[in-house]
């Protein structure tokens, strides 16, 4: 599921235009002047509070600016405080409705989009949101003052022009049905934020934004509270009615998952999401769950599956040969892990768009071949002659040819072809250099996965090191690509697009702080990315992304992990109520904070 930059929009798909909304593909569900989204309770009472826990990877924060490369911003800040010109909903993954903008107009040639701002839109300091603020936000985010991924994300936007006090036009470098949603999803902030300082020097200045919450009581670096703005300008708009009901939203930060869970049972916070199957199966039980004090539930959803895996840093010489990468992947016995570690709770990730319409299967279909054939001289022959690679599946039957031992033999042969053989107690190249592998982690949670995996790799002669560092150190090393192997998760999307340039594009590979942590630089992949971004219809997008998935998987750039088909969550009973309709496309934390509300006891007895 794609999100608006620091918002919750679900974007994206021949363009469909209406004054109050824009859809890249498909129809617009809600008419002009609609009263509220169907997944909310329009008369939900305001008040009460909810205390959440930040993920352990965000165990501290040192700034209030989520747009710069250096440092860590607090959880929730982007979603709760900053707003966008357009906003999506959990029912239509390819449509967005006006929020800061009351009107959106796409030019007939599709080379520009004009937004007219809502006359009631106000920042927290009560200043009106004007076209000059939108242009200022765009100029800052596309400058070197902001994190580099923003420049990649907006790379197809030629510029922004102020037409009047409340009208702004964005011009595009080429016709692209997604671009109105790209700029419509840009976070907008006041020109006064930071009092004229460059954006990368705006660190602890309180954001001047327009969202439903303001900063509240904060223990800087530890816990942070957001307070509902009673004068929130958009509270009666159809895109906001019945939403953002809690008076206070607080995030508490902990150093590790054990401390988190014990604090949850002790009543220090109200809601938690479990990401580790063992913890869900063995930890989320006992008296508090039996007597109903705590509720645990597996929530169904229709989200595209996330991609998660160990990613190689292909900038390093030892990972240049894809046979080496394939061999390392063959050493993972996922089936054993699923039985012994995951309580059979997961499904193996197959590709980069798992569980979606964009997942490549079998041999290339005609629509894929139409895109792949012009790139034949840039692609390996097996892209055309062999089914798309699937992760190796171990079998306990010795006669199957797919036991772990069989896979290790295949890996040994691939390594030998790539110039790595076992001698003098290690896997060595022609120069006698030993092949070392370092898995980098920040929480230690991957240790139980790496340990058995490392034993298999050591049978091939690899020297394996598993290193746990603080999140800030991990982030810095990722930003400058100072790692060998790292576990990373890429959120799934119902309509992937421009963000893929940041993940897999050659230009991003050399940009510090980019999401192309793998370091992919491949002209064929660049050409397919170009086709995906330029897609004018959903069938065109599907064909381009299937072809992209196929080529990426033939490159063996990652060791795929696993994904779950449900959200595993728990919360404190008696404190909350929720709408009758559960969304199809959603993440639980943003769904809860935006549409749930406090129960009667919560409203009366705030902590």
Q: Identify whether residues 520 and 578 lie together within a single domain.
A: no
Residue 438 lies in a domain: yes
At residue 28, the 3 state secondary structure works out as coil
Answer yes or no: are the C-beta atoms of 219 and 17 closer than 8 Å: no
Mean pLDDT, range 468-487, rounded to an integer: 92
**Model confidence pLDDT, tens digit, residues 580-606:** 999 888 999 999 999 999 987 777 544
How many whole angstroms separate alpha carbon 163 and alpha carbon 131? 8
**Model confidence pLDDT, tens digit, residues 373-402:** 999 999 999 999 999 999 999 999 999 999
Confidence class for position 140, pLDDT limits 50, 70, 90: very high
86: domain CATH number is: 3.40.190.10
How much is the pLDDT for 7? Answer: 35
How much is the pLDDT for 437? Answer: 98
How much is the pLDDT for 13? Answer: 38
Residues 6+ away with beta carbon under 8 Å from 378: 522, 523, 524, 527
How many whole angstroms separate alpha carbon 359 and alpha carbon 199? 39
How much is the pLDDT for 302? Answer: 84
Residue 11 lies in a domain: no
List helix spans (H) across 83-223.
131-141, 148-153, 179-184
Of 21, 1, 5, nearest to 187 by C-alpha is: 5
Give the CA count within 13 Å in the CB-facing half-sphere of 325: 26
Q: Identify whether residues 480 and 576 lie together within a single domain.
A: no
Residue 299 lies in a domain: no
Q: Which residues pair with 212 in a beta bridge?
A: none
How much is the pLDDT for 604? Answer: 55
**Model confidence pLDDT, tens digit, residues 413-423:** 999 999 999 99
Answer yes or no: are the C-beta atoms of 180 and 106 closer than 8 Å: yes
557: domain CATH number is: 3.10.105.10
**Model confidence pLDDT, tens digit, residues 430-462:** 999 999 999 999 878 899 999 999 999 999 999
How many whole angstroms separate alpha carbon 332 and alpha carbon 554? 18
pLDDT at 11 over 50: no
Report percent pLDDT > 90 for the chain: 77
Residue 4 lies in a domain: no
Tokens of residue 535, six digits: 């897609």
Q: Identify whether residues 386 and 504 lie together within a single domain.
A: yes
B/e letters for 363-375, b = 16+ CB within 10 Å, e = fewer, are: ebeeebeebbeeb
Helix (H) or strand (E) segment spanning residue 50: strand 49-53
Query: Phi-psi category of 599—alpha, beta or left, where left has phi over 0 and alpha has psi -120 to 50?
Result: beta
Mean pLDDT, range 82-99, rounded to an integer: 93
**Model confidence pLDDT, tens digit, residues 215-272:** 999 999 889 999 999 999 999 999 999 999 999 999 999 888 888 899 999 999 999 9
Residue 286 lies in a domain: no
Q: Identify whether residues 326 and 408 lie together within a single domain.
A: yes
**Model confidence pLDDT, tens digit, residues 176-207:** 889 999 999 999 999 999 999 999 999 999 99
Helix (H) or strand (E) segment spanning residue 422: strand 421-423
At residue 520, the 3 state secondary structure works out as coil
Phi, psi of 602, rounded to the nearest 5 degrees: -65, -40
Q: Identify whether residues 465 and 415 lie together within a single domain.
A: yes
Q: Identify whether residues 214 and 357 lie together within a single domain.
A: no
Mean pLDDT, range 542-549, rounded to an integer: 97
Q: Identify whether residues 453 and 538 lie together within a single domain.
A: yes
Helix (H) or strand (E) segment spanning residue 427: strand 426-428
**Model confidence pLDDT, tens digit, residues 335-379:** 999 999 988 888 899 999 988 889 999 999 999 999 999 999 999
Tokens of residue 543, six digits: 């064909």
Residue 533 lies in a domain: yes
Least confident stretch, 60-64, 448-452, 534-538: 534-538
How many whole angstroms separate alpha carbon 348 and alpha carbon 553? 14
Confidence class for position 58, pLDDT limits 50, 70, 90: low
Q: Which residues pair with 87 in a beta bridge?
A: 97
Looking at per-residue pLDDT, the higher value among 276 and 198 belongs to 198
For 537-586, the DSSP string reads: SHHHHHHHHHHHHHHHHHTT-EEE-EE-SEEEEEEETTSEE--SSPPSS-
For 154-186, the DSSP string reads: TTTEEEEEEEETTEEEEEESS--TTHHHHHHT-
Q: Identify whether residues 583 and 543 lie together within a single domain.
A: no
How much is the pLDDT for 513? Answer: 87
Residue 426 lies in a domain: yes
How much is the pLDDT for 276? Answer: 81
Please identify which residue in the block is written with the tokens 């370092």. Answer: 438
Question: In the chain, how many domains are there?
Answer: 2
Q: Identify whether residues 232 and 377 lie together within a single domain.
A: no
Q: Identify whether residues 97 and 224 lie together within a single domain.
A: yes
pLDDT at 9 over 80: no
Q: Identify whether residues 370 and 488 lie together within a single domain.
A: yes
**Model confidence pLDDT, tens digit, residues 290-302:** 999 999 999 988 8
Q: Identify whether residues 432 and 515 lie together within a single domain.
A: yes
pLDDT at 127 over 90: yes
Mean of all residue pLDDT scores within the chain: 92
pTM of this structure: 0.82
| Dihedral, 422, 428, 434, 436 alpha carbons, nearest 10 | -80
How much is the pLDDT for 240? Answer: 98
How many whole angstroms separate alpha carbon 8 and alpha carbon 91? 12
Tokens of residue 248, six digits: 């206070």
- Provide the total of helices (H) and of strands (E) in the chain, helices listed first: 20, 28
Domain that holds residue 99: 16-254+567-604
For 471-507, the DSSP string reads: HHHHHHHHHTT--SEEEEEE---SS--THHHHHH-HH
Tokens of residue 341, six digits: 């570690």
The angle formed by the CA atoms of residues 133, 139 and 142, to the nearest 5 degrees, is: 135
| Dihedral angle sign, alpha carbons of residues 503, 507, 511, 517 | positive
Residue 293 lies in a domain: no
Farthest CA pair distance, the chain: 75
């Amino acid at each position: 599921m794609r999100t608006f930059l620091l918002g919750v929009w679900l974007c994206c798909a021949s363009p469909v235009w209406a004054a109050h909304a824009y859809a890249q593909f498909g129809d617009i569900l809600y008419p002009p002047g609609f009263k509220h989204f169907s997944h909310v309770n329009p008369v939900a009472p305001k008040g009460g509070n909810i205390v959440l826990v930040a993920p352990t990877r965000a165990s501290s924060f040192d700034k209030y600016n989520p747009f710069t490369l250096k440092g860590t911003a607090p959880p929730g800040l982007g979603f709760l405080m900053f707003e966008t010109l357009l906003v999506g909903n959990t029912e239509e993954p390819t449509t967005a409705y006006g929020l800061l903008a009351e009107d959106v107009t796409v030019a007939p040639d599709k080379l520009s989009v004009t937004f007219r701002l809502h006359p009631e839109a106000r920042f927290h300091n009560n200043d009106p949101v004007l076209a000059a603020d939108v242009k200022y936000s765009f100029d800052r985010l596309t400058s070197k003052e902001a994190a580099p991924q923003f420049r990649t994300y907006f790379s197809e936007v030629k510029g922004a022009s102020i037409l009047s006090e409340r009208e702004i036009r964005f011009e595009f470098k080429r016709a692209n049905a997604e671009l109105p949603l790209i700029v419509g999803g840009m976070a907008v902030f006041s020109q006064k934020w930071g009092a004229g300082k460059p954006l990368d020097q705006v660190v602890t200045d309180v954001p001047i934004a327009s969202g439903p919450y303001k900063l509240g009581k904060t223990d800087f670096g530890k816990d942070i509270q957001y307070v509902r703005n009673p004068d929130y300008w958009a509270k009666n708009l159809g895109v906001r009615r019945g939403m953002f009901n809690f008076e206070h939203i607080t995030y508490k930060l902990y150093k590790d998952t054990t401390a988190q869970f014990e604090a949850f049972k002790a009543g220090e916070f109200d809601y938690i999401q479990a990401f580790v199957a063992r913890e869900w199966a063995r930890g989320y039980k006992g008296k508090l769950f039996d007597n109903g004090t705590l509720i645990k539930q597996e929530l169904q959803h229709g989200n595209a599956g996330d991609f998660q895996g160990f990613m190689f840093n292909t900038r390093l010489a030892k990972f240049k040969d894809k046979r080496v990468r394939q061999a390392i992947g063959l050493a993972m016995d996922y089936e054993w892990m699923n039985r012994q570690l995951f309580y059979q709770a997961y499904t193996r990730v197959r590709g980069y768009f798992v569980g979606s319409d964009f997942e490549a299967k079998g041999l290339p279909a005609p629509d894929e071949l139409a895109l792949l054939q012009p790139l034949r001289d840039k692609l390996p022959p097996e892209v055309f002659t062999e089914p798309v690679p699937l992760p190796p599946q171990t079998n306990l039957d010795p006669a199957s040819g797919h036991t772990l031992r069989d896979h290790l033999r295949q890996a040994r042969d691939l390594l030998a072809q790539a110039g790595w053989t076992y001698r003098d107690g290690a896997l060595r190249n022609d120069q006698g250099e030993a092949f070392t592998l370092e898995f980098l982690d920040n929480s230690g949670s991957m240790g139980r996965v790496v340990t058995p995996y490392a034993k298999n790799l050591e049978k091939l002669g690899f020297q394996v090191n598993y290193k746990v560092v603080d999140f800030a150190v991990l982030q810095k090393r990722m930003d400058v690509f100072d790692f060998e192997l790292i576990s990373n998760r890429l959120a799934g999307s119902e309509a992937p697009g421009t963000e893929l340039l940041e993940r897999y594009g050659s230009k991003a590979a050399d940009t510090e702080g980019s999401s192309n942590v793998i370091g992919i630089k491949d002209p064929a992949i660049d050409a397919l990315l170009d086709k995906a971004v330029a897609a004018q219809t959903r069938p065109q997008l599907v064909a381009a992304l299937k072809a992209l998935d196929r080529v990426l998987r033939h490159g063996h750039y990652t060791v795929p992990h696993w994904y779950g088909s449900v959200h595993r969550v728990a919360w404190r009973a008696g404190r909350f109520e929720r709408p009758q309709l559960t969304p199809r496309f959603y993440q639980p934390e943003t769904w809860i904070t935006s549409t749930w509300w406090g129960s009667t006891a919560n409203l009366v007895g705030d902590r």
